[in-house]
Amino acid sequence: MSERLEKTLLIVNKLGLHARAATQLVKLANQFDAEVTIVQGDKSASASSVLGLLMLESCQGKEIQVISEGNDAQLAMDAVEELIVGRFNENE
């Protein structure tokens, strides 16, 4: 059964959703049978597109909406949340 989940998360890492962080997010999101979308303000991007994520210009302190749809929606949401809350594994 396919489900849809939404969660608001805060970008906490110093550099925000920059190229390396976006690449990590894309690799992670592609592991699941789910479509993950990131929304910030009036912009949205698929979590499977590095360029799309960079276009959101998400910096430290910005709130983003994560939408996860599909058979692995919960697994994908949990993994994405862990990556973002964990500052994209960056030492700051």
Question: Which tokens belong to 18?
Answer: 């920059």
Residue of 7, 12, 18, 37 marked catalytic: 18
Mapping DSSP onto H, E and C, the string for the chain reads CCEEEEEEEECCCCCCCCHHHHHHHHHHHCCCCEEEEEEECCEEEECCCHHHHHHCCCCCCCEEEEEEEECCHHHHHHHHHHHHHCHHHCCC
Q: Is 42 a catalytic residue?
A: no
- By annotation, the residues acting in catalysis are 18
